[in-house]
A and B are shown apart, each in its own frame.
Chain A
């Protein structure tokens, strides 16, 4: 109950302050507010174009991501494309590349003045620029590349859970392949696709990093970047930003609600809980074009961005045309020499360790509480901890900024605040990972230990924990990686003396050189990989010694 209460405080406390700030109509800097009113919401009319921008970018990106997710989902789960199993694994990679890395890379590739594509275009005699990434289309493109893998996972799962007998029945009754696809397959997967679209749209509304990196040069704002601007300018306009945040949050909350409705009501026939071996359709020589589609997606979403950033990080001045004299290691030397970068990287790794370790304990206990304890009110706790799902991290961080500013223990500006923030915003991530495993473990496995006479602690040690181990390790890794690369919450909450690496990369992008930024981004990725390798080695040795 205590842990449940703790989770409630973590989630609700900042939200309450966010709402309070949005209703403040006196002196914008006054804490607590001098007067309350709805003026801030009425004043949002001036920012109508920003809401329009947000909807435009989110809609474009969602459409593109769903097309990507549906195409890839269908190819990889229902056709006999070569290398199906391998591609399915590789589809997780875009998630690890992150939108920030993607945005940096695509800015290098396609910015109007110095983008590689445009450099080549001009070298070939072209005029002006061929492509421009600093547009709504460009932002949507980058966002869709990364959200595409999320859409793929969701839509692919629906396609896999469909009983192939339903299609076979249609064929046996005389319908051709096209008719079967149109009249049977499509209607059956439609609720799942719709659910994925709504979910992705909600995520896009709250996304931040691509819009920041690609939109700022042209002063193109979406709600999250506008909020960031309002808070970080002087004087900051907290109440307006808060009103924006609450509005965005309300829309996203509605979206998540719709998503849950679709998922619970719409997937009636496809999900039967039975495991099917999805039938792979023989698509003949179309296999090769399909293979091409898969390779193309991974190229633009993973290979090209990583290669581009790597290439840029070894250049004096980035150019599409490599010259021997232009290659250098100086960016890495600079990055590693900068105290700010070193301490930020160290802080991030430390925070990652702390978030993952505390998080696994906290979220493991919460999962058990919600899905196993049959405690009255478990359902309420579940809703509460899944709540951050519906709140953009930047908006959440804004609430925390206000909430913890007046907290009696001075944690503002320290890593402690970031730790609390990470633990809060990653509650849904950790909970979903761990509860997935908890739900797979049949209750009778614990009950039979009880019937053998084992007490609560003994059962936990000998049965529950060993069975949960893979899930806990996976959750730990996810939390670690997500924390080290967090941007939306960190950029608002980090103090001048306690910086973390991702916001530092963004700062560097806008204030120092592109090449140095690329080096920092790669260093961050390498640090994550190195930390994970080290941890695994240590863990394995510990396990082996323990076993001897």
Chain B
């Protein structure tokens, strides 16, 4: 199976007068699993469709395996069917007038493989998605999860060089989605194929990607590994979108900075030590983000030097997997999520602390 790299450079896509994608540049290494993450309307699906060849960009360049498949100058536009890619659609796009077998066999028959090979490979693919016994069934009589598996098998059976996924799990219910996420990851590793995945679901993106591209309004906000995206957001948008974070506003105190840490002072006077993710903003007024799960609450004062503050439990919300505490701190409320069932009750005086590694100075 040939693994191909993808290069996207200065990609611009317009719909009539609307610019859906405005100058996006990124690369996907051979065998890498990249995810485009962002809210609806951010241009992630349009970018994916441009790579697929289903959308004609206004300008820019797309290369697959080094060869240009789209370029505005010199003008190149390889039609989708000749790009050697494959795609799983959000709606699954299972053809209702064919059997499960015929759906999966389609790509092989297009490539005029001998029927014996078609049968063998479709069987193998259906085995891999655990639908071996459903081959003869009409595709219109499948559940959502089964359709999803057929769509998967159909997409990889003919050994494409790249697999594209357009929100493939968004039509499944929560439980099935969590299951399929794991299966999908396993399948990806087994097929050992380059993939580009589009989703608006953070957990999905964190679970299955090697790298994540966060997009907003047709532009890239941040590119990084799942860990980087989660713990070191570059700006408020990423911090906010990628999951629950406390944003702390304060003035830079460069005079107090040591050991590569940055320090800000809140209006209430608290000093917060943290790290800068990218470029450091010059202005006095700055923002720091710290994830709700990275904060700790203790009755006794912990033995760390910095980032320990007294606080008071205002509200406690039990949510099963974790307990969410709203604590009064520095004239405002911080949200803290703890997995352990700490015996803390509303009104308790506690110490809240944070590792400076997880307090991230934002660029904007």
Residue with the greatest number of chain A CB neighbours at <10 A, chosen from B81, B154, B155: B81
Contact B80 A451 (CB under 8 A): yes
When each residue 22-58 of chain B gets 1 if its CB lies under 8 Å from chain A and 0 otherwise, what string results? 0000000000000000000000000000001110000
Q: Determine the distance from Cα of A445 to Cα of B107 in the docked complex, in whole angstroms.
A: 14
Contact A447 B93 (CB under 8 A): yes
Contact B95 A453 (CB under 8 A): no
> Which residues of A from 58 to 113 have beta carbons under 8 Å from B?
none
Q: Is A272 an interface residue (CB 8 A)?
A: no
Residues of A within 8 A of B275 (CB): none
> Which residues of B from 45 to 104 have beta carbons under 8 Å from A?
52-54, 79-82, 84-87, 89-91, 93, 95-97
B200: min CB distance to chain A, Å: 18
Q: Is A466 an interface residue (CB 8 A)?
A: yes
Residues of B within 8 A of A467 (CB): 95-97
Q: A453-B81, A453-B158 are in contact. Are A448 and B93 (CB under 8 A)?
A: yes
Q: Is A544 an interface residue (CB 8 A)?
A: no
Residue with the greatest number of chain A CB neighbours at <10 A, chosen from B53, B110, B111: B110
Contact A451 B97 (CB under 8 A): no
> Which residues of A from 405 to 456 have beta carbons under 8 Å from B?
442, 444-445, 447-455
Residues of B within 8 A of A450 (CB): 53-54, 79-81
Residue of A nearest to B86 (CB): A451
Q: Determine the distance from Cα of A454 to Cα of B110 in the docked complex, in whole angstroms.
A: 6
B256: min CB distance to chain A, Å: 56
Q: Is A291 an interface residue (CB 8 A)?
A: no
Residue of A nearest to B155 (CB): A451
Q: Is B106 an interface residue (CB 8 A)?
A: yes
Q: Determine the distance from Cα of A88 to Cα of B275 in the docked complex, in whole angstroms.
A: 70
Q: Is A462 an interface residue (CB 8 A)?
A: yes
Q: A447-B54, A458-B110, A462-B106 are in contact. Are A452 and B93 (CB under 8 A)?
A: no
Residues of A within 8 A of B89 (CB): 444, 447-448
Q: A458-B110, A462-B106, A466-B97 are in contact. Are A451 and B85 (CB under 8 A)?
A: yes
Residue of B nearest to A454 (CB): B110
Residue of B nearest to A463 (CB): B95
Q: Determine the distance from Cα of A466 to Cα of B90 in the docked complex, in whole angstroms.
A: 22
> Which residues of B from 210 to 242 have beta carbons under 8 Å from A?
none
Q: Determine the distance from Cα of A453 to Cα of B155 in the docked complex, in whole angstroms.
A: 11
Q: Determine the distance from Cα of A466 to Cα of B102 in the docked complex, in whole angstroms.
A: 14
Residue of B nearest to A469 (CB): B97
When each residue 103-127 of chain B gets 1 if its CB lies under 8 Å from chain A and 0 otherwise, what string results? 0001100110000000000000000
A455: min CB distance to chain B, Å: 6
Q: Determine the distance from Cα of A287 to Cα of B74 in the docked complex, in whole angstroms.
A: 73
Residue of A nearest to B111 (CB): A453
Residue with the greatest number of chain A CB neighbours at <10 A, chosen from B53, B107, B155: B107
Q: A444-B89, A444-B91 are in contact. Are A452 and B154 (CB under 8 A)?
A: yes
Contact A454 B93 (CB under 8 A): no
Residues of A within 8 A of B81 (CB): 450-455
Q: A442-B91, A442-B93, A444-B89 are in contact. Are A452 and B158 (CB under 8 A)?
A: yes
Choose among A445, A453, A466 the residue that contacts B110 (Cβ–Cβ < 8 A): A453
Q: Determine the distance from Cα of A451 to Cα of B95 in the docked complex, in whole angstroms.
A: 14
> Which residues of A from 523 to 543 have beta carbons under 8 Å from B?
none
Residues of A within 8 A of B110 (CB): 452-454, 458
Choose among B82, B90, B96 the residue that contacts A453 (Cβ–Cβ < 8 A): B82
Residue of A nearest to B52 (CB): A451
Residue of B nearest to A376 (CB): B16
Contact B107 A453 (CB under 8 A): yes
Contact B91 A452 (CB under 8 A): no
Choose among A442, A448, A455, A458 the residue that contacts B87 (Cβ–Cβ < 8 A): A448
Residues of B within 8 A of A466 (CB): 97
Contact A452 B97 (CB under 8 A): no
Residues of B within 8 A of A442 (CB): 91, 93
Residue with the greatest number of chain B CB neighbours at <10 A, chosen from A445, A452, A458: A452
Residues of B within 8 A of A453 (CB): 81-82, 84, 107, 110-111, 158
Q: Determine the distance from Cα of A299 to Cα of B84 in the docked complex, in whole angstroms.
A: 63
Contact B87 A451 (CB under 8 A): yes
Q: Determine the distance from Cα of A445 to Cα of B96 in the docked complex, in whole angstroms.
A: 9
Residues of B within 8 A of A447 (CB): 54, 80, 87, 89, 93
Residues of B within 8 A of A444 (CB): 89-91, 93
Contact B54 A452 (CB under 8 A): no
Contact A452 B52 (CB under 8 A): no
Contact B93 A445 (CB under 8 A): yes
A525: min CB distance to chain B, Å: 34
Q: Determine the distance from Cα of A116 to Cα of B205 in the docked complex, in whole angstroms.
A: 79
Residues of A within 8 A of B97 (CB): 466-467
Residue of B nearest to A441 (CB): B96
Q: Determine the distance from Cα of A449 to Cα of B97 in the docked complex, in whole angstroms.
A: 13
A223: min CB distance to chain B, Å: 42
B15: min CB distance to chain A, Å: 10
Q: Determine the distance from Cα of A462 to Cα of B89 in the docked complex, in whole angstroms.
A: 19
Residues of B within 8 A of A458 (CB): 110
Q: Determine the distance from Cα of A442 to Cα of B90 in the docked complex, in whole angstroms.
A: 11
Residue of A nearest to B163 (CB): A451
> Which residues of A from 380 to 402 have beta carbons under 8 Å from B?
none
B160: min CB distance to chain A, Å: 8
Residue of B nearest to A465 (CB): B97
Residues of A within 8 A of B107 (CB): 452-453
Residues of A within 8 A of B91 (CB): 442, 444
Residues of B within 8 A of A445 (CB): 93, 95
The 3 closest A-B pairs by CB, nearest first: A452-B107, A448-B93, A444-B93
Beyond A451-B80, A451-B86, A467-B97, 8 additional contacts (C-beta under 8 Å) are A444-B91, A445-B93, A447-B87, A447-B93, A448-B89, A451-B54, A453-B110, A453-B158
Give 24 CB contacts A-B under 8 Å: A442-B91, A445-B93, A445-B95, A447-B89, A448-B151, A450-B53, A450-B54, A450-B79, A450-B81, A451-B87, A451-B164, A452-B107, A452-B154, A452-B158, A453-B81, A453-B82, A453-B107, A453-B111, A454-B81, A458-B110, A462-B106, A463-B95, A466-B97, A467-B96
